[in-house]
Amino acid sequence: MRLGGLLVLVALAAACDQRSRAEAPAGEGRVETVTITVANVATRSVERTVSVVGTLAANAQADLASEVEGQVVGV
């Protein structure tokens, strides 16, 4: 157990000695330019459609029938 702790301690000490890759080396303070593209905001309608191939099934169904004999003309 002590050997494992010692190895972890040595590994941490070695890692703390290294410089971060994110830091610029001393004397190299150059700034990298970034190109930015902007656009005006516009309001417009968005069509919400989905084109798929497959079988359509309802979540629920209802049976419609008349109480008297005849045709159902309207609902």
pLDDT in tens, 8-19: 777 776 666 556
For residue 46, is it left (φ>0), alpha (ψ between -120 and 50) or beta?
beta
Q: Can you give the pLDDT at residue 22? A: 63
pLDDT class for 27, splitting at 50, 70, 90? Answer: low
pLDDT at 20 over 70: no
Tokens of 64: 């419609």
How would residue 24 be classed by pLDDT, with cut points 50, 70 and 90?
low
3-state secondary structure of 65: coil
pLDDT in tens, 37-69: 998 999 989 888 988 899 888 888 888 777 788
Counted residue by residue, the chain has a size of: 75
